[in-house]
Structures are given as structure tokens and as C-alpha cells.
Structure 1
Amino acid sequence: MPPRAQLCSPPTPWRCAQALCCASAFSLAAASGPWGEGEGDGCVAAWALSFAFTLLLLLAHLAGRPPPRRDLPLALALACAVACAAATVLWPLGQLRDQPDGRRRHLRAAATAASALAAVCYGAEVAATRGRPGETVPYLATPPGLLKVAQCVTAAVLVGVAAALGAAGGPAGWRWCLGIYGAGMAAALLAVLVCGGILGVPGGCGGWDAVWARRVLVGYAALGVLAYGAATVLWPLEAFDEGRGGRARRPHGCGAHCPWDRAVLVALGTALNLLLYLGDLAQAGRVVLLRV
């Protein structure tokens, strides 16, 4: 096993590329002029926060005070990767589509490209520094830990897009889905904080040897599968079933802020999080079967 200093040493070239891409994305977006509220604000906030967190890690490294644990910057890199990937989809959908050719369109297209590069750079850091089979690493550097981080950030994106669509005042199925997304985000965040040892639990989830504690993680993943399985059915049923007032096809002439497009994105994001919970359940179930 490599020395701990090597495990904690941050991949500085990747961090520099991440900070540069995020700074370019929100600078180009700002230079393009006013953007649409809601989605546009969320995309710019994702780039700005990713830049700020990455810059703090770089400054800490330059000051000779790197994070004491390998999994904390790794979890942050995964969260930024998911956030930038979501912004790469949402930004051109609402801010680039239907824009006439000219300076504003070119700047917003460049911001989209910078966001995509940022997501790739963050993903490369995760791939390069995550835990390997047989390697002893903190919990959030393991596949179950990384899955919980991805679940949390994906749920946050779903909450934002669904709320912007008016899910809170929409059909009953949409209100149930919004509740699932919000509860899932809170549960995943709590799991990350507890399992990562951030709340002061000794050793986090990785330090639990009791059978009941491992079963708690299985129960968490199983509930997530059930909840997102229901949402995967309920959301499209209300959005695309014409018998329930939905639309099976995109309305003709629907512009850049077409609600139908956002309904499709929420349906896809819900299915993605269902897959993440299924993977988490498989990982947690394997541990219980091997150790019980």
C-alpha cells in the first residue's frame, strides 16, 4: 500500500484544469449578457461553487495543508462532476436554443464547452484517485461511498428542475415525486456525512462491524430502489399520458423553455438515480452476505 502522504496528495494538474474550465464557463456566461432565471442561475452557481471549492483545495495544497483524508476531495470532485454535467445539459437547453447567430450565441456555446470539459476533468480525477480492489481507503473513496455522493447531487438537480416545472402545485403523482426527490436528497446527504465520519461518528460506516449497522445500509439502498422505482413510473405517467392531461409528444413550436423538455430530463434523471440505488443495493447486499 502506498504511503499515506501519496494517498492524500491532490492531483494538482487536474485541479488547475478544473478551476480554469469552471472560471471560463461562468465568465463566458456572464459576458453573454443576462440569462434566464432559475436554470441559468443554477448553472452559473454550479460553475462558481465548483471553482470556489477547487480553488480552496489548490490553495490548501500550496500552503502545505492538504486534506487529511483522501476521500473528502474525491467526494467533492464527484459532486462537482455531476453538477457540471447537469449544467452542460441545462445551460444550452434554456440559454442557447433559439438564440440568433451572433456574439451572445457564440459565448454561450463556449460556456457549454467549458462546462463539459470541467465535468470531464472532475470525472478524470475521480477515476484516477478512487479506491482500488484490495486497497484500504476511507469510506467515501469506495464504490458505495461514491454512489451515495452521486445520489445526493442527482436528487438535488431533480428537486430544482421539478420545482421549476411547478411539480409542487401539479398532479398528485408529481407532488409525490417531488417529495421522493427531496427526502432522497436529505437521506443521501445524511448517509454521506455519517459514513464519511464528518459528523464525528468514529470510523464512519467503514468502522461499523455490527450486523445491524450493515443492514441499515442495505435498508437505505432498498428504500431508495422502492422510492425511485415508484417515481420512475409516476413521473412519466403524469407527464406523458394524454389520458391524465400529459403530452406524449413535444408540442409543436415549443420554445427554449419548453416544459416538455424538462419533464423528459426529470424522467431520465429519475431513472439514473434508480440505477445508482440498484448499484448501491448490490454493493451493500454483497457485504452483508459475505460477512453475516
Structure 2
Amino acid sequence: MPSWVFHLLQLLPTCVTFALVASVGTWSGGGATGNWFTFTWCFCFILSFIILIGELCGLPFCLPLFGDSVLITCACSATLFCLSASMDFVTTYIQFLPRSPFRDLTMAATAISCITSVAYATEVAWTRVLTGEFSCDVFTLPGLLKRLEIFVACAIFAFISSPSLYQHQPALGWCMAVYAICFLLPAVALLLPWCDWGRRLLIPFPVFHLGLTSLSVLFYTTAVILWPLYQFDEQFGGQPQRSSDATCRHRLPYDRCTWDHLLAVATLTAINLLLYVVGLMNLACSPAGTPGAGQEVAVASHGPR
């Protein structure tokens, strides 16, 4: 089956979901959470559109960034984003709406968003069947961990979209720097083989990858300590109880209170640290010279689709 068929099947439901959400006013009435939902579906629509145009124009044969591994990475990320947005949309928006045609439209948007997730996941599964082996790094443990790390980092950014949550303390500003740096490091680890930069490094790529992961573990260890300390400890200006946060006393539909955002960031920070530790242990236990995440990409990215 031509790959552009998958992208077309992804493009249609993302377009419908975005149109339904925009028609019911979630963009303007959902606060920061509603903006995140809208951004997620709009981003997936634009991503699918760009990839579809690239496929129709034959760019996979001209540009390595349109190879298999890049496209599967996009499909995996879009699957996670659409699925998480669908689940969060129900818990933070739809359940507060009264029964009405307005609510029916939002439920339809959620259902179509779930279908979109299935469409992206189908492309990933089809590529796995097509290759017949784990030649694409998306199907290896290091490759999967890197994509999960990027996804969790994006979720963290969604919860701390307001600068007021971290600008009042230098330690919290450092945590923001950690999230940004460690978001870029996995992306660098994935992009190096695609751009064939790994061969130009003066050190072996597995050693370079091990260094990036070790640095991320060190950075996230400081964040997993500093973020809860300065957000939930009274001695450092934090709020230990949810009831002490004025934004949580009169909770509005489809909008979480600030304390919930801070707790979500603390939880996601711990989850990402665990992912980095697992990745570091996997790299440390691998035999010397074993390819790390992304080294198979250079081969898989030029395979037939």
C-alpha cells in the first residue's frame, strides 16, 4: 500500500477534529488546556499535510529527513499526542458540559480524535510488518525510550505554559532550562544518524549517546529535587496543600488549578527521569560498539515504502 494513503487517512480526521473543536469555541473558551487541545490537533493536521505533500512530490527520494524513520517518529508522536488529547479532553472539558447539541459536537470531536490515533498507529504497525525485522530504530528499546522522553517533555511544557509558575525563583528557572535542554538532547540523538553526522564525530556514536543520556539523568535529578521543593515546601515559598491555592477554590470547567499543574509537572519529571535511567542502564549494559538508538536509521530511512 502506498504510504501517501496512510497520510491521507490521517489528514482527513485531524481536519474534521480541528474543525469541530474550533466550531464549538474550545479555542477561545477552554483556557490554557483548551489551547493545548487545539494546538495538538492543528499541529497533527499541519504535520500530516506537509508529509503528504512531500510524499506526492517524491521528497523521500531526495531528502533524508523524509525517510522511513523520520516519518515513523512523526506517526508515533502524533499517536501519543492525539490519544492523550482525547483522554484529557473528556476529563477536563466534556464532563462539565450539560447535555446539548454543543456537547454532542465535542463528543464527536473526541471520537474522531481517537480514530486519528488509530490511523497514526496503523502506519507504525504497517511499517513494522513491511520491514519484517527490527531494522528501524523506532522498534528498538533505545529508540522507543527517546520518543517517550520527547513526548513527556512536551507534556511538561503544556502544563507550565504560564511564566508565572517558575519566574519567581531562580531554582525553578533552572528546572525550565533542564526541561528545554533535555528536550533537545534526545532530538539531537535521533537527528545525528539521519543527517549522517555520526560518522564525522571524533568519538564513537554509542559513547556520544551514552554521554548525552548521562547528562540528561544528571540534569533531571536536580529538577526532580528542586521543582517539588520550591513548589510544595512552605520554607521555600511553596504551597504544600491544594486548598491553600486560591485558583483551586472555585474550579472552572475545562481548566485545572495552578496546584494541579505543578503536581503534574513534578510527576512527569519523575517519569522522565525514570525513562532516562532505564535508557542509561540499557546503554551501559550493551556490549561495546553496539549501535545505539538511531544508528539503524541511516539504513532504514532509505528503504522502500
TM class by shorter chain equals: 0.7 to 0.9
User: Which stretch shifts more, 67-76 or 134-143?
Assistant: 134-143
C-alpha deviation, 1:29, in angstroms: 0.5
Matched residue, 1:35: 29
Structure 1, unaligned stretches of length 5 or more? 1-5
Q: Which residue of 2 aligns with 1:123?
A: 121
Counterparts of 1:10-159 in structure 2, within 5 Å, are: 10=3, 12=5, 14-33=6-25, 34-61=28-55, 63=56, 65=58, 67-68=60-61, 69-92=67-90, 95-96=93-94, 98-130=96-128, 135=133, 137=135, 139=137, 142-159=140-157
Alpha-carbon separation, structure 2, partners of 1:133 and 1:19: 24
Q: Deviations over 1:119-155 (max 9, x none)?
A: 3432343344359999473555644234323323432
Q: Contact 1:84 / 1:115 at 8 angstroms: preserved in 2? A: yes
Residues 39-80 of structure 1 show CA distances to partners (whole Å, capped at 9, x for unaligned) of 32332222122122223434554x373734321210111221
Higher RCO structure, 1 or 2 (CA under 8 Å, sep 6+): 2
Q: Provide the residue aligned with 1:233 in structure 2.
A: 225
AA aligned to 2:251 is C
Identity %: 26
TM-score, normalisation: structure 1: 0.76
Counterpart in 1 of 2:296? Answer: none
2-side partners of 1:74 and 1:19: how far apart? 15
Give the 3 Å change call, closer, same or farther, for CA 191–246 of structure 1 in structure 2.
same
- The answer to whether 1:268 aligns with 2:267 is yes
Q: Secondary structure at the match of 1:163?
A: coil
Equivalent pairs, count: 277
Give the stretch that moved more between structures: 128-137 or 265-274.
128-137
CA 1:10–1:178 in structure 2 vs 1: closer, same or farther (change >3 Å)?
Answer: same
Give the RMSD, CA atoms, in angstroms.
3.5
- Give yes or no for contact 2:89–2:110 (8 Å, CA) kept in 1: yes
Cα distance change, pair 291–134 in 1 and its aligned pair in 2 (3 A): farther
Say whether the 8 Å CA contact 2:206–2:290 is kept in structure 1.
Answer: no
Change (3 A) 1:21 1:255: same
In the TM superposition, residue 240 of structure 1 has moved relative to its aligned partner by 3.6
Q: TM-score, normalising length from structure 2?
A: 0.73
Q: Deviations over 1:144-176 (max 9, x none)?
A: 234323323432331242132623324444322
